[in-house]
A = this chain, B = another copy of it.
Amino acid sequence: MIGGGIGAFIGDAHRRASRICNDFEMVGGVFDADYEKSKQFAKKEGIPAERCYKTVDALIKAETAMPADKRMEVVAIVTPNALHFPFAIALLTAGFHLVCEKPMTMTVEEAVELEKLVAKKKLTFALTHTYTGYPMVRQMRDIIAKGTLGTIQRIDAQYYQGWINSIIHGTESRITGVWRLDPKHAGASSCMGDIGVHAFNLIEYTTGLEIKEVLSDLNPVKEGVKLDLDGTVLVRFSKNLKGVIRASQVCGGEENNLTIAVYGSKASLKWGQENPNYLTMLSDTEPAKIFKPAHGYNDKLAEASHTMPNGHPEGIYEALANIYKGTAKSIRGEKFTPGEFPTVHDGVRGMKFIHAVVESNKAGNKWVKV
């Protein structure tokens, strides 16, 4: 693992999920840019001191020198955004499989380069669009793939959070001090790069459709903020299929309110991350139906993604564990269903989305191809 040391919640989430999945064991890493902190963390986790490395280069050098059955096989990159790309290039080049946090890179060019390298090296690259690991998201994908909705007529995705509220209404230093608000570390966008891209990914994952063009209106919300903290993106799939992505980090009181609604001529589907075990199907002629995990009416992949009997809610770690599980299958060369884990191609799509959104806004809210 690269990053994810003391105080980093996303690194902890990866570790918990990989332990649930039970196909991975953490054997070493570079847990913090500060070597002392990294070592403290390694000790706490029971990692031998010699496998707590000072740098990624040191890790590569030492691990590749070990015998095949001892060395680290897959690396999880959970650092701030700007470091994803250089570490990924170095690790892939050295032959490691990768699990990488999103957004995958800082630019579209980097993303494309990464995609090429993954193809060339024939390695597994999993991007943690965690929400695609929820059973009911997978069930949604399956229902849509079967054509149950008829012609899709509208798509609406939302990702509302409120946690940046307290930062921008705090002291000046908070606005400049948080890495997510600094273009150098966060990239071209805060809100769209961090969460809008999840909504984008969820649309493409569940529907199998590609967003062709976007027109965006972004909002830094407060003087002095350099990146978007809020925005709306009009999206087009084809001449008569349009939709919208709405995302915000300043919706005070919203927690992690990611939702998707796909409306078709015959039926429609709605899902929300905060109650992930419910998938609602609407139709004009029948009662609304609520799909839940662990039922025979679900698709195979959805069923395999929930391990408890019905009525026992599983949550976000189990979703991430499902991504890890698919990744493990791929690494071991086992058969897996497309959709079991997000690949480097999803990362490229995401980067294209973020950059098109930023460009549209800069151009005065004009349509831009994705």
List A residues at the B interface (Cβ < 8 Å).
9, 12-13, 15-16, 19-20, 22, 149-150, 153-154, 156, 160-163, 165-166, 169, 215, 217, 219-223, 230-232, 234, 236, 240, 242-244, 246, 248, 250-257, 261, 263-268, 273-277, 281-292, 295-297, 307-318, 365-367
Contact = CB atoms under 8 A, between A and B. Distances in A.
Q: Label chain A's interface by main secondary structure.
A: loop
A345 B195 CA distance: 40
A135 to B, nearest CB: 11
Given A16-B20, A287-B292, A365-B367, A250 B219 contact: no
Given A162-B268, A251-B263, A254-B311, 12 more contacts: A166-B284, A220-B240, A230-B242, A234-B365, A244-B244, A248-B263, A252-B283, A254-B263, A254-B268, A275-B313, A289-B290, A312-B315
A366 B268 CA distance: 30
Contacts of A286: 289, 297
Nearest to A258: B311
A274 B273 CA distance: 15
A357 to B, nearest CB: 13
The count of identical subunits is 4
A313 B311 CA distance: 15
A249 to B, nearest CB: 10
A365 B308 CA distance: 36
A166 to B, nearest CB: 6
7 contacts: A19-B20, A20-B317, A160-B263, A252-B268, A254-B311, A256-B312, A312-B316
A290 to B, nearest CB: 4
Contact of A317 (B153, B217, B296, B314): B314
Given A163-B309, A365-B234, A283 B251 contact: no
Contacts of A290: 287-290
A15 B257 CA distance: 31
A255 B221 contact: no
